[in-house]
Amino acid sequence: MGNETLNNNIRRLRFDAGEMTQQALADKVGVTRQTIIAIEQGGYTPSLVLGMKIARTFNKTVEEVFQLE
């Protein structure tokens, strides 16, 4: 395993989507608010399914939401 980190734009995308709350996003993708917080802070790497659900919520591709750097 390398030293790559998975960054994401979820926070910005939420605000672009009419200031969507973390709870609203959590409800849409079927997780708890704590999980959304952990993903936004980079503390938790979501599964591919959850990543795709988040991207679909914002009408974006997975690469537009998550970046491996």
> Residues 32 to 51: which contact other proteins by CB under 8 A?
32-35, 38, 41-47, 50
Interaction of residue 8 with other proteins, rule CB under 8 A: no
Q: Decide whether 20 or 31 has the Cβ nearer to other proteins.
A: 31
CA gap 18, 62 in Å, rounded: 20
DSSP-derived letter for residue 59 is: T
Taking the C-alpha atoms of residue 65 and residue 9, their distance in angstroms, rounded to an integer, is 5
Q: Which residues here bind other proteins, judged by CB under 8 A?
A: 1-2, 4-6, 23, 26-27, 30-35, 38, 41-47, 50, 68
